[in-house]
Structure 1
Amino acid sequence: MTTLPARRLRFAVSDSLVLTGRALAHAVRQPVPVLVGLLFPVLLVLMFGYLFGGAMTVPGGGDYREFLLPGMFAMTVAFGIEATYTAVASDTARGVTDRFRTLPMAPSAVVTGRAAADLLHSAAGLAVMLACGLAVGWQWRAGPARALAAVGLLLLLRFALIWVGIHLALVLRRPESVVALQILVWPVGFTSNAFVAPETMPGWLAAVAEWNPLSATVAACRELFGNPGWGGDSFAAQHAVALAVVWPVLLIAVFLPLSVRRWRHLGR
Structure 2
Amino acid sequence: MPQTHLIAGNWKMNGLKSALPVAQAIAARSRNHPNARVALFPPATLLPLMAEALAGSAIILGGQDCHHADSGAYTGDVSAAMLKDAGAQMVILGHSERRHGHLEPCALVARKAQAALRAGLEPIICIGETLDQRQSGLTRQVLERQLTDSLPDELGRAAFHVSYEPVWAIGTGLAATDAQIEEAFALIRAHLHRRFGPDFVGHLLYGGSVKPHNARQILALPGISGALVGGASLTAEDFMPIVAGAD
TM-based fold match above 0.5: no
Q: State TM-score, norm by structure 1.
A: 0.27
- Larger relative contact order (C-alpha < 8 A, sep ≥ 6)? 1
Higher Rg of the two aligned structures: 1
Q: Greater strand percent: which structure?
A: 2
Q: Greater helix percent: which structure?
A: 1
